[in-house]
Amino acid sequence: MRILTLYIGLVCFVLVSCKKEGGNCIESTGKIVTEQRQIPYFNSLKMLDNVDVELISGDENKIEVTAGENIIDNIFTQVVDIDIKRDSVSKMIKQLVIQNVNQCNWLRSYDKPIKVKITYANNINNIEYRSIGDLICLNTIKSDTFYIDIFEGSGKINLELQCLHSHLHYFFGTADLIVKGRSYVNYLHQASYGPIHASELITDFNYLENRGSNDCYVHASIYLGATISSVGNIYYSGNPAEKELKKIGSGNFYELE
């Protein structure tokens, strides 16, 4: 009887919550459909929630959203103005925000896809990741200076870059970060639990600190300046002509052929 009472109470709580939150908790995902959307100019991307994202450069800015017909209207894709600060300098950016604003997502199957394919005609300079969705580059992101900031999440991030300066900042989460391509100078900050695989990002100068519990794989051909401050290791390749390796934590440096 006690279990039955608790069960009935839980059902009532969910139903009341659904009513307050828009009423789509008891709806299934529905048939998987694809919707085309036009978007204005943007130069930054922010990922939230359980949405997979594909990036591809093209001749125009557009979005293709794939999701269940009952939830697709609440897959948020909007460009907003954001003031960010880099190196004490404020800058206004146009940020495309990808978010699942459906309620009670925990009641739905994660086997049914929620995917946003983004075609962009301009440079993307910044990606902010706070998601459990995957991020995949279908071709190369070209930019003078590129930033990715991972603040939380557990998906897979696969980037291909061609830039002068790249900044890979991993603050929190367990996501896998894989980066390849070409960057003249790379800056890497690792303070989290997920691995960073950037040995295929061919760089001349690489500056990094591993403060996390997982490993970093990097490449440098001219200079490598690296610090280990925790248990994570640093694996490096490229036979850099000059290197400054500082070890504070228990992790180790390993040179790869």
**Last-in-domain residue among 134, 157, 186:** 134
Residues 6+ positions from 256 with CB-CB distance below 8 Å: 199, 217, 235, 236, 237
Q: Are residues 251 and 144 in the same domain?
A: yes
13 pLDDT above the threshold of 70: no
Q: What is the mean pLDDT of the chain?
A: 91
CA pair distance 41, 155, nearest whole angstrom: 26
Total domains present in the chain: 2
- What does the pLDDT look like over 113-158, one tens digit per residue? 899 999 999 999 999 999 999 999 999 999 999 999 999 999 999 9
**11 in any annotated domain:** no
pLDDT attached to residue 66 = 98
Contact by Cβ (8 Å): 180, 160: yes
**Per the structure block, which two tokens stand in for 118?**
């983004």
**pLDDT, greater one: 18 or 49:** 49
Model confidence at 105, in pLDDT bands (50, 70, 90)? low
170: domain CATH number is 2.160.20.120
**Last-in-domain residue among 99, 134, 169:** 134
pLDDT attached to residue 2 = 56
- What does the pLDDT look like over 78-102, one tens digit per residue? 999 999 988 888 999 999 999 999 9
CA 63 to chain centre: 18
Residues 6+ positions from 225 with CB-CB distance below 8 Å: 206, 207, 208, 243, 244
pTM of the predicted protein model: 0.88
pLDDT attached to residue 110 = 52
Q: Whole domain around residue 63: which residue ranges?
A: 30-134
**19 in any annotated domain:** no
Contact by Cβ (8 Å): 34, 68: no
Model confidence at 235, in pLDDT bands (50, 70, 90)? very high
Nearest in space to 202 (alpha carbons), one of 225, 179, 170: 179
What mean pLDDT comes out for the span 7-30? 54
CA pair distance 233, 210, nearest whole angstrom: 7
Q: Are residues 162 and 252 in the same domain?
A: yes
CA pair distance 117, 36, nearest whole angstrom: 10
pLDDT attached to residue 25 = 65
CA pair distance 68, 184, nearest whole angstrom: 43
